[in-house]
Amino acid sequence: MPTHPKIVAFAGSAREGSHNVRLLALAVRAARAAGAEVTEVSMRDFPMPLYDAELEAKEGLPEPVRRFKALLEGSDGFLIASPEYNSSITPLLKNAIDWASRPEGKGPALTAFRGKAAALFAASPGSLGGLRGLVHLRAILGNIGVLVLADQVAIPSAHQAFAPDGALADIGAGKRVAALAEALVDLVRRLAARG
């Protein structure tokens, strides 16, 4: 059983000051405190073209895709914070998932996702906190072999939700974020123990 599960944390936003990046940082801190080895990723460091099957056929996976996919393949699970765009996930996040799901050469597809576990978070200025986007993200991940924890955390009124020190002003919400991150670490450990 791994004493330090490997988790990749990423948000579906590359915007500076993103509410979801701030929320993700709280989940990362809790997962590390629970004993996980967490790699925090900015999607800005992986500039991927829009998925294009012709580009893939001619050139293979672009270099940023290969780097991102390798991180996911080397992990046990994911912490994902997803903004909500028009009741769904961001094009940035969907594109990254689509590219990372592709096989390399004649290898199998979905090696970055099958058998991994994920915890989902969202923050939105709206009253639902990004819940509608998480519905789509959960469906996508589940269909490509990711075990998504049943619980999730959505933070409404995100523009007012954070204290100056970066914590959530609502202590109960902060505890839910930490509990979900800890639950992911525990689940990954239990899955590894089962072999």
Domains belonging to the chain, first-starting first, are 6-194 (3.40.50.360)
Distance CA 15, CA 20 (A): 9
The pLDDT, as a whole number, for residue 1 is: 44
pLDDT digits (tens, 9 = 90+) for 54-83: 999 999 999 999 999 999 999 999 999 999
The pLDDT, as a whole number, for residue 121 is: 98
75: nearest Cα among 3, 10, 8? 8
User: Does 2 have pLDDT greater than 70?
Assistant: no
What are the CA-CA distances from residue 119 to residues 30, 60, 131, 140, 179 (Å)?
12, 30, 13, 13, 10
Contacts 24+ apart (CB under 8 A), 139-145: 140/89, 140/94, 140/97, 141/97, 141/113, 144/97, 144/101, 144/110, 144/113, 144/114, 145/110, 145/113, 145/114, 145/115, 145/116
Residue 142, both tokens: 């589940």
Distance CA 144, CA 151 (A): 19
7: nearest Cα among 72, 71, 56, 77? 77
pLDDT digits (tens, 9 = 90+) for 77-116: 999 999 999 999 999 999 999 999 999 988 899 999 999 9
What are the CA-CA distances from residue 25 to residues 9, 53, 105, 130 (Å)?
9, 34, 35, 17
pLDDT digits (tens, 9 = 90+) for 118-171: 999 999 999 889 999 999 999 999 999 999 999 999 999 999 999 999 999 999
Residue 98, both tokens: 């689509």
Model pTM score: 0.95
